[in-house]
RNA sequence: GCCGCUGUAGCUCAGGGGUAGAGCAAUUCAUUCGUAAUGAAUAGGUCGUGAGUUCGAAUCUCACCAGCGGCUCCA
């Protein structure tokens, strides 16, 4: 976000982005009027508005928003002109030294240290420019709106912290987020939409619908799937399992822990040590160290260096699957070998990053590892992409973007030869082009052992989450000395493909809850049908219908409470049950049932047998829509 | 991990230096009802945890824990 935009990109800034970028300047002006010691760093427009990073003694809290907004509206009313000024590098530096750049001209302050740094980052020979509105001048490439009156429809959203240029070592700044629109109506629509989105938050719906629970006593980021959530997960797993069977995968089961040596070989243990649960030392090591009065540091060092053996909660499934592959001899005729597992892994994510089901410390990947010949890579990757597309398509999730994650050529965090990286990246690029969807190539997003194709979706508050992923790996097969016998009767190293169409069941379910607003299609709904007797007089008939539905394999519940029908309907709708069957004396006499769907007022009458046939075929087809009578 | 905010009944939240409140949910009773809330009664809380200040702390202070919004990270 901090890279310098090209002139072309700046010219392409939309009118709305100009309003927002200008609003960031107006906000800075307002802050300076209230707190003159503020030092500004960087203030761009973003997808949902704008922010400005700054440093000052006063800590902004939401209580200050009203005061800042009032000053901003005042500045908008003053209708200051945004004036472009081209200045020389020397002028810019002189202005920054006197605190007038990113400051008030009439009230210069301390040298603008961030602006000085930003000036140094502008390539020699490039025109340096600034914009002035009223008495506020800022180093800025623009573009802006003409006058501050365009910036009157603003709202401050939140305050948080950030690092200067995203660098943890460069100190912490305050970041104030706001949003701005071209009209009051658009602003209000946006704010209403945000309120609506909050109601879809999976953390809120997960609680309301009884899908999952996170308990302090169990641990941060560890999901307890409650019965209803577990039914959703089971349906998803059944779906995937069916697809895997069709596509020639073999399902395996592996333990949740493995010896440290396994991860030393894979390279994960030293590389990701900070984000793993600490290793479990063997008992005799602990006893020996206790006898010697050794410190924890001795233990940790010994584990790290390999002096002591221990176990790790598995942070990924690859090494276990690799060992399954390696336990047999393989001929090129056997390949590809496709090993799949719903494999639960544990990662010590930073506490501040955890949240709901989307970022957790224990999660289950719908994982698989494919071992194939170099010739098979392209076809296998394409097959994996098709699977991801099938999964997302079945669920009606079409709001994803595709990212080709490549290595950053300037970084040394990657393992393996440049030649293999080039091959892997080329294979993925070729495969993603067959997908027929737009994709972006992003440098530095690759895994340390190989490039990947990621499917990224947004949650209700606009955050990006990586779901499905397909990765080509030339490195682990070498590290683990894997082989197969080729047609030439020689030993060859297979290529590995890692892939997970959902990513993790936790994250995927969290995003599904938001995607469907809790109104899952019938095949996923924890409770598919609710039977509602009108009174105790028809309870017996309702019990019989419930039993018949359950017998047919439909997930059904009966409402035995003494409430009126209206209350029972309301409760069933709040529980997002797709179908309600109302049974009164009339239906019993006629031998029919009255069906009401979750989203309509319309009532349909048919026999129970007809309904069972229809709903069963809807479930089997994994239909997104309810059946049409 | 860092910055900021928050933590009161199962849930949503009010209150606030003199020992706890509402609505919903729950339980019981009455009602037997025709498509989004029938009525009444009852029960329910060491006010996140620990320490400190105070005659007295849910309320003030500090530490810790957890959640939320960002940052950083994400094999």
**Domains annotated on chain A, with CATH:** 7-192 (3.30.980.10), 224-256+314-514 (3.30.930.10), 257-313 (no CATH), 529-620 (3.40.50.800)
Nucleotide with minimal C1' distance from the CA of A173 is B3
DSSP state of A44: -
Give the CA-to-C1' distance from A579 to B22 in angstroms: 34
Task: Give, in order, the Cα–Cα distances in Å from A55 to each of A113, A470, A523.
Answer: 10, 42, 52
- C1' of B8 to CA of A159 (Å): 26
Distance A91 CA to B14 C1' (A): 58
pLDDT of residue A298: 85
For residue A46, which nucleotide's C1' is closest to its Cα?
A: B70
Q: Summarize pLDDT for A574-620 with one digit per residue, the tens.
A: 999 999 999 999 999 999 999 999 988 899 999 999 999 999 999 99
Instruction: Determine the distance from the C-alpha atom of residue A100 to the mean position of all C-alpha atoms in its chain, rounded to a whole number.
Output: 41
Strand B nucleotides below 7 A of a protein CB?
Answer: 1-5, 11-12, 26, 29-38, 65-75
Which residues face A344 on adjacent strands?
A: A364
Q: Which of A114-123, A353-362, A479-488 has the lowest mean pLDDT?
A: A114-123
Place of tokens 């994250």: A507
ipTM over 0.90: yes
A5 has pLDDT over 60: no
Q: Do A441 and A454 touch, CB atoms closer than 8 A?
A: no
* Dihedral sign computed on CA atoms, order A540, A541, A546, A551: positive
- Taking the C1' atom of every nucleotide in all shown strands and the CA of A598, the nearest one is B36
**What phi and psi values does residue A570 have, to the nearest 5 degrees?**
-60, -45
A353 CA – B72 C1', rounded, Å: 9
Q: Which residue is nearest to nucleotide B4 (CA to C1')?
A: A160
Pairing assessment for the beta strands A128-133 and A82-87 based on DSSP bridges: antiparallel
Q: Which of A625, A621, A554, A622 is nearest to A593 (CA)?
A: A554
Sheet bearing A579-583, strands edge to edge: A556-558, A529-533, A579-583, A593-597, A603-606
Q: Could you give the strand order of the β-sheet that contains A128-133, starting from the edge strand earlier in sequence? A: A82-87, A128-133, A136-139, A103-104
pTM of the model: 0.91
pLDDT confidence band for A4 (50 / 70 / 90): very low
Q: What does the pLDDT read at residue A118? A: 82
Q: Is A412 helix (H, G, I), strand (E, B) or coil?
A: coil
3-state secondary structure of A2: coil
User: Which nucleotide lies nearest residue A586, CA to C1'?
Assistant: B34
Task: Write the pLDDT tens digit of every residue in A272-312.
Answer: 888 999 899 888 888 888 888 888 888 888 888 888 889 99
Given this model, what pLDDT does residue A10 score? 53
DSSP string over A426-448: HHHHHHHHHTTS-EEEEET-SBT
Residues of A with catalytic function: 318, 347, 365, 367, 369, 452, 498
CA of A567 to C1' of B23 (A): 17
Please report which helix (H) or strand (E) contains residue A387, including its range: helix A377-394
Query: Of the candidates A410, A408, A392, which has an alpha carbon nearest to the alpha carbon of residue A400?
Result: A392
Q: How confident is the model over A500-522, as pLDDT tens digits?
A: 999 999 999 999 999 999 999 99
* Nearest residue to B71 via alpha carbon and C1': A162
């Amino acid at each position: 976000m901090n890279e310098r935009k090209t002139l072309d990109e700046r010219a392409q800034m939309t009118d709305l982005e100009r309003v927002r970028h200008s609003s960031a300047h107006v906000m800075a002006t307002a802050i300076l009027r209230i707190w003159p010691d503020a030092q500004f760093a960087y203030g761009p427009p973003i997808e949902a508005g704008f922010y400005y990073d700054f440093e000052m003694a006063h800590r902004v809290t939401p209580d200050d928003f009203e005061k800042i907004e009032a000053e901003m509206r005042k500045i908008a009313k003053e209708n200051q002109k945004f004036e472009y000024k081209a200045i020389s590098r020397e002028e810019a530096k002189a202005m920054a030294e006197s605190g007038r750049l990113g400051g008030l001209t009439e009230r210069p302050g301390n040298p603008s240290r961030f602006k000085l740094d930003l000036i140094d980052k502008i390539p020699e020979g490039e025109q340096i420019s600034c914009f002035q509105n009223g008495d506020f001048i800022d180093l800025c490439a623009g573009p802006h709106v003409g006058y501050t009156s365009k910036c009157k429809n603003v709202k401050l959203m939140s305050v948080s912290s950030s690092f200067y240029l995203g660098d943890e070592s460069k100190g912490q700044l305050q970041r104030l987020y706001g949003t701005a629109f071209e009209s009051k109506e658009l602003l209000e629509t946006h704010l209403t939409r945000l309120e609506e989105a909050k109601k879809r938050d999976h953390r809120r719906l997960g609680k309301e619908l009884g899908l999952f629970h996170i308990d302090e006593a169990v641990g941060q980021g560890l999901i307890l799937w409650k019965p209803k959530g577990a039914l959703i997960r089971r349906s998803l797993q059944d779906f995937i399992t069916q697809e895997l069977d069709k596509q020639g995968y073999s399902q395996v089961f592996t333990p949740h822990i493995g010896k440290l040596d396994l991860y030393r070989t894979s390279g994960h243990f030293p590389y990701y040590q900070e984000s793993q649960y600490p290793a479990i030392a063997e008992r005799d090591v602990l006893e020996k160290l206790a006898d010697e009065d050794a410190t924890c540091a001795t233990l940790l060092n010994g584990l790290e260096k390999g002096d002591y053996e221990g176990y790790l909660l598995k942070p990924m499934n690859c090494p276990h699957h690799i060992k399954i592959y390696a336990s047999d001899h393989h001929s090129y005729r056997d390949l590809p070998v496709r090993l799949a597992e719903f494999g639960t892994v544990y990662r010590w994510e930073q506490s501040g990053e955890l949240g709901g089901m989307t970022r957790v410390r224990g999660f289950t990947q719908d994982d698989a590892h494919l071992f194939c010949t170099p010739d098979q890579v392209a076809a296998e990757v394409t097959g994996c992409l098709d699977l991801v597309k099938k999964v997302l398509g079945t669920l009606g999730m079409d709001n994803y973007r595709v990212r080709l994650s490549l290595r950053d050529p300037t970084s040394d965090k990657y393992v393996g030869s440049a030649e293999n990286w080039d091959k892997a990246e080329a294979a993925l690029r070729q495969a993603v082009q067959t997908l027929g969807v737009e994709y972006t190539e992003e440098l530095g997003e690759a895994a340390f052992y190989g490039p990947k194709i990621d499917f990224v979706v947004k949650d209700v508050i606009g955050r990006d989450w990586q779901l499905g992923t397909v990765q080509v790996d030339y490195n682990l097969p070498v590290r683990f000395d894997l082989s197969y016998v080729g047609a030439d009767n020689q030993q060859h190293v297979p290529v590995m493909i890692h892939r997970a169409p959902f990513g993790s069941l936790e994250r995927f379910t969290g995003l599904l809850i938001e995607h469907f607003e809790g109104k899952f299609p019938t095949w996923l709904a924890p409770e598919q049908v609710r039977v509602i007797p009108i009174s105790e007089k028809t309870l017996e008939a309702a019990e019989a219908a419930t039993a018949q539905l359950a017998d047919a394999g439909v997930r059904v519940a009966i409402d035995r409470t003494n409430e009126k029908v209206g209350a029972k309907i309301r409760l069933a709708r709040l529980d997002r049950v797709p179908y309600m069957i109302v049974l009164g004396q009339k239906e019993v006499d006629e031998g029919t049932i009255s069906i009401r769907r979750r989203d309509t007022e319309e009532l349909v009458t048919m026999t129970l047998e007809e309904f069972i046939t229809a709903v069963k075929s809807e479930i089997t087809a994994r239909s997104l829509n309810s059946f049409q009578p």
